[in-house]
Amino acid sequence: MTINCPFAVRILTEFIRAELAKFGFQKGVLGLSGGLDSSVCAALAARALGPGNVLGLRLPYGKSFDADKDDAGIVADGLGIRTETIDIAPMVDAYFERRPTDSRVRRGNKMARERMSILYDYSASEHALILGTSNKTELLIGYGTIHGDMACAINPMGDLYKTQVRQLAAYLEVPERVRLKKPTAGLWDGQTDEDELGLSYAEIDEILFHLVDERENRGDLLARGLDAGKIDRVMALIRSSEFKRQLPPIAKLSVRTVGHDFLYPYDWNK
Amino acid sequence: MCYFYGMKIALAQIAPHLGNLEKNWDLHQEAAAKARQAQADLLVFPELSLTGYKLRDLVESVAQDPERSPRFRELMALSRDLALVVGFIEERGEEKGIFYNSAAFLAEGRIVHIHRKVFLPTFGMFEEARFWAPGNHFGTFRSPFGQAGMMICRDFLHLNAGYLLFAGGAEMMITISAAPGRGLSGEKGFGSSRMWELMGESLSFFTTSAQIYCNRAGIEDGMTFAGGSFVFSPKGALLAQAPYFEEALLFAELDPADVRKARQTWPWKRDDKPEVTLNSLQRILLRHDD
């Protein structure tokens, strides 16, 4: 689980720079929450593109998470990247006035997709590509909103477990207060990822690493002394979230179909 | 036996543009100019250097017939004073619609040898056999630098490929590669780079032949190519290695007379018994019991 941070940073900064350049972009835009993942992504982007070419959008819901907004400011100032702030409460509230709900999940997803919609608008107005901040842990257990925080043009961090993002954060000198605070998806006040999941990231990552990277099975994990309930919970999360990791299936009718046998590389002729 | 001293090899660890023949041709010409300036004798490019690697359905748009393609005429001209190894998609006029992942060795203005990749990785992140056909032969050829053989990427990792070139008399094996980096850990570079280095070192020592391995750099669809190209002497010594991951033009001085010295010290070649290999393989394939 330990990574060579200088080597990882070299690869990820080149990935960001090269992928943007291939499509004719020099600038990147990302949602800056004041949390660990977006802070690390901002630090990578600032190194890759130069701080002047990175825009961090702070997209709080009203006055909640004011402390996070401050942290996002500290991160942005430290990196010298540009920021803008847009309160998403008017848009989200306008919607739920027409379709009221007590569901925290529906409200949280709506907020994530509101942020996505603003990021894509800035992508167009700033001629900047959206840098995703989903890590490998979130992608594998499906802990993200499809077409919300999972939406992006490129994802530099999608092959790094949360534990590894933490290592990178220390190497990249992300402020300590950001590194030490409890991870939250910002879905509601006081929410933390680990409370919601019922597992700590350290526990999830240990299970995922052996299951995915080491190709071990349930029996192997039990033999390691890992908790059966926790293993089953993680395995169930992986299985139930496959739809978030793939494009939707297309019903095949013709002899050549997008996704089935019309197969071109993403970096086509770039 | 060919004697020549101070042969200079250049390895172009480039990052080809996916599906863009024109931009890649520019990269080849730039590397050739630098290699010529450095008075190199042989310039080796990576696997699919003229086309990029993850072509998928682009394969038909970049395929070339080496006997007819104008690009190959230019390559032959380029090879008049600098031997070249390039990677390309091969499609012959008499075999339309059948694509091979091939390596061409050009020297003195002509195509000396073409090797078609035999072992096409088709598992996990690799899907080669889905898009192109396998070659069926490992042969050696007379090069200006002695008897040589070529492999393409995964070929190199199959022990029988290196053995067949050894049995065929290769004094020099040239492997062109598009090997992605896999396995980030606390160690230097990608874990998968060690696999190639291990085989390079082993083959150089146990076949007493020079091992020239040219990998590529760059990123395609998030796939990071690991670089780390190298040259091992016929005595098993690492002569030069390019950095991991980054583009580079690596030079190495090779004295092919070392083959003779190495084979006097370690007579693996003299004592090889290809007929035993053949007999044993026949028994294995025919499921004969002793």
Kindly report the average pLDDT of chain A as a whole number.
94
Rg (CA), chain A: 19
Q: Which domains does chain A have, with CATH numbers?
A: 5-187 (3.40.50.620)
Which of B227, B182, B173 minimizes the C-alpha distance to B201?
B173
Pure H helices in B82-190: 128-131, 159-167
Q: Alpha-carbon distance A225 to A211, whole Å? A: 14
pLDDT at A185: 79
Q: Which residues of chain A have pLDDT under 70?
A: 64-66, 69, 269-270
| A11 Cβ under 8 Å from any chain B Cβ | yes
Among B289, B201, B184, CA closest to B245:
B184
The whole-number pLDDT of residue A184 equals: 86
A265 touches chain B (CB under 8 A): yes
> pLDDT averaged over chain B?
95
Residue B290's pLDDT band, with cuts at 50, 70 and 90, is low
Helices (H), A80-189: 89-98, 104-126, 136-141, 162-171, 176-180
ipTM: 0.90
List the alpha helices (DSSP H) in chain B: 21-37, 59-62, 70-78, 128-131, 159-167, 191-207, 257-265, 274-285
Q: How far is B263 from B277, CA to CA, in rounded Å?
A: 20
Of the pLDDT bands very low, low, confident and very high (cuts 50, 70, 90), residue B88 is very high
SS3 B269: coil
Nearest CA to B147 out of B125, B165, B127, B129 is that of B165
Q: A116 CA to chain B: closest CA distance, Å?
A: 22
Q: Do B118 and B134 meet the contact criterion of CB atoms below 8 Å apart?
A: yes
Q: Does residue B283 register a pLDDT over 60?
A: yes
Residue B1 above 80 pLDDT? no
**pLDDT tens for each residue of A71-98:** 999 999 999 999 999 999 999 999 999 9
Residue in chain B closest to A1 (alpha carbons) equals B185
Model pTM score: 0.94
pLDDT of B2 strictly over 60: no
- Cβ separation B58–A10 shorter than 8 A: no
Report residue B180: phi and psi, to 5°.
-75, 155
At B3, is the pLDDT very low, low, confident or very high (cuts 50, 70, 90)?
A: very low
The mean per-residue pLDDT over the stretch B220-242 comes to: 97
Q: Could you read off the pLDDT of A204-250 as tens digits, one per residue?
A: 999 999 999 999 999 999 999 999 999 999 999 999 999 999 999 99
- Contact of A263 with chain B, judged by CB distance below 8 Å, is answered with yes
Amino acid B256: pLDDT: 75
Q: Give the pLDDT of residue A189.
A: 75
The band of B186, judged by pLDDT with boundaries at 50, 70 and 90, is confident
Give the pLDDT score at A65: 64
Q: Would you call B192 an interface residue with chain A, using a CB distance cutoff of 8 Å?
A: no
Does A255 touch chain B if contact means CB atoms closer than 8 Å? Answer: no
Q: Where are the domains of chain B?
A: 7-285
CA nearest to A183, candidates A173, A198, A191, A193: A193
Q: Is residue B158 within 8 Å of residue B93, measured between CB atoms?
A: no
- pLDDT average, residue stretch B202-215: 98
Confidence of residue B5 (pLDDT cuts 50, 70, 90): low
Interface contact flag, A7 B189, Cβ < 8 Å: yes
**Topology of the domain covering B7-285:** Nitrilase/N-carbamoyl-D-aminoacid amidohydrolase (3.60.110)
Q: A interface mutation test: which of B20, B53, B219 has the most A CBs within 10 A?
A: B219
Residues of A in contact with B55 (CB under 8 A): 265
Query: Least CB-CB distance to B19: which of A11, A15, A268?
Result: A268
pLDDT at B16 over 50: yes
pLDDT at residue B119 greater than cutoff 70: yes
Judged by CB atoms closer than 8 Å, whether chains meet at B186 and A3 is answered as yes
